[in-house]
Amino acid sequence: MRSEDGGESKVGKQLYITPQNTQTRSQKTTQATPQNPAPETTNQNHTPQATGLRPQKTEMKKYTYTDKKDTRSGFGAGLLEAGRKNDQVVALCADLIGSLKMNDFIKEFPERFVQVGIAEANMMCIAAGMTIGGKIPFTGTFANFSTGRVYDQIRQSIAYSNKNVKVCASHAGLTLGEDGATHQILEDIGLMKMLPGMTVINTCDYNQTKAATIAIAEYEGPVYLRFGRPVVPIFTDADQKFEIGKAWMVNEGADVSIFATGHLVWQAILAGEILAEQGIDAEIINIHTIKPLDAEAVLKSVAKTGCVVTAEEHNRLGGLGDSIAQVLATHTPAPQEYIAVNDSFGESGTPEQLMTKYGLDAEHIVLAAKKVIERKNKNA
């Protein structure tokens, strides 16, 4: 990969590009230039040579950013805006107002906020009850206490009862960091997606989280919205329209499909840049809605690339990877590699350390992509 000033990128040596190295956010350079030939002319991706050994470099859309924020702040901003748009929106919290960034909503709409204390089961069922009378409740606590702790409450009073509750979960996954495994749920996507009628969304940056929060208020039905604590680059558009159930094409490519969710999307972009540098043309698709899954987008992409990497901050059992695998297995089986936690609990550490240790970073996505392309070519 070539950075915009023509010099070598530092990607791969560091997890996140520093803001000083970037120009405008979301500047996309899809047009071929003399210095950067069009991908079509360089790709021999369906031949056995396409294993990253080609001298030619491919090109991918540039994603840069000027700011980084936690996705939970996107939720806080989205909640405030959803509250302004619709006076039926109410918020509930189980003693984690600051962590969920609900302060602005509470300040503006104190009468529409319910502090339930450390009683998540009660919170979920109060939220279910508030829908009777037309309210649109948003519950806020950590992902662990939003799902595993209250599974039966969500199952009976929200999902089975088809109540219009938005279960909003921060601090999902390992990147909650130092608190350790008691708080680092890696099973929540699986738990929630198994509930009939539940929509499951995992957003990738501040802007997408804000847009998703506003969108789910306008959608009728139970939703699980997952976001997190780590500060990650803001690379999606501030004025985006969030479409529930619609995959977002991050970068078109032909050699491998990388389906990523949550802040692993940024790692997939970094991986895509490394792969392009090595002549591998990765298609990167953001699956922000894990359920209902955009199966059409998945199948269309894999029909082109023939192999798959899935990337998520979740147990490899039951997450995005399994959803994709199920679609492929029943339509067009294809080799797949998982970037996910390998059926284990987490541990204490900084988010960056944990992402590296558990293999949830750009470098591991690169390795997985090469491996799966090799498998594809062996099968060919």
Partner 1 sequence: MKADIQELEKTASQIRRDIVRMVHGCQSGHPGGSLGCTEYFTALYFSAMNHDPKFNMDGIGEDLFFLSNGHISPVFYSTLAHAGYYDKAELATFRKLNSRLQGHPTTHEHLPGIRIASGSLGQGLSVAIGAALAKKLNGDKSLVFTLHGDGELQEGQIWEAAMFAPHNKVDNLISTIDVNGQQIDGPTNLVLSLGDLHAKWVAFGWDVLEMKGNDMADVVKTLELAKSRTGQGKPIMILMHTEMGYGVDFMAGSHKWHGVAPNDEQLKLALAQLEETLGDY
Residue ranges in contact with partner 1 by CB under 8 A? 90, 111-112, 114, 116-117, 119, 121-135, 137, 152-153, 155-157, 160-163
β strands within 219-263, DSSP E: 223-226, 231-233, 248-251, 256-260
d(CA 352, CA 200): 25
Min CB(218)–partner 1 separation in Å: 18
Min CB(106)–partner 1 separation in Å: 15
Min CB(91)–partner 1 separation in Å: 12
Min CB(110)–partner 1 separation in Å: 12
- What residues does 337 pair with on adjacent strands? 309
Name the pairing type of β-strands 166-170 and 223-226.
parallel
| Of 129 and 359, CB closest to partner 1 | 129
| Of 195 and 307, CB closest to partner 1 | 195
β strands within the chain, DSSP E: 68-70, 89-93, 113-115, 136-142, 166-170, 199-202, 223-226, 231-233, 248-251, 256-260, 282-286, 289-291, 308-315, 336-341
| Of 34 and 110, CB closest to partner 1 | 110
Min CB(66)–partner 1 separation in Å: 40
Residue with tokens 């470099």: 57
Q: What is the 3-state secondary structure (H, E, C) of 73-92?
A: HHHHHHHHHHHHHCCCEEEE
| Of 149 and 375, CB closest to partner 1 | 149
| Of 125 and 366, CB closest to partner 1 | 125
Q: Please state the φ and ψ torsions of residue 232, each to the nearest 5 degrees.
A: -130, 155
d(CA 112, CA 136): 10
| Pair of tokens at residue 332 | 């067009």
Closest CA to 86 of 215, 270, 196, 261: 215
Min CB(81)–partner 1 separation in Å: 20
- What residues does 90 pair with on adjacent strands? 137
Min CB(185)–partner 1 separation in Å: 20
d(CA 11, CA 262): 20
| Of 126 and 200, CB closest to partner 1 | 126
| Of 126 and 215, CB closest to partner 1 | 126
Min CB(92)–partner 1 separation in Å: 9
| Of 125 and 172, CB closest to partner 1 | 125
ω before 292 within 30° of 0 (cis)?
yes
d(CA 114, CA 340): 35
| Of 131 and 315, CB closest to partner 1 | 131
- Tell me, what DSSP letter sits at residue 241? P
List C-alpha distances in Å: 151 to 125, 193, 359: 11, 12, 29
Min CB(129)–partner 1 separation in Å: 2
Min CB(115)–partner 1 separation in Å: 9
Closest CA to 225 of 240, 244, 238: 244
| Of 55 and 133, CB closest to partner 1 | 133
Closest CA to 62 of 6, 24, 16, 8: 24
Residue with tokens 């099973």: 187
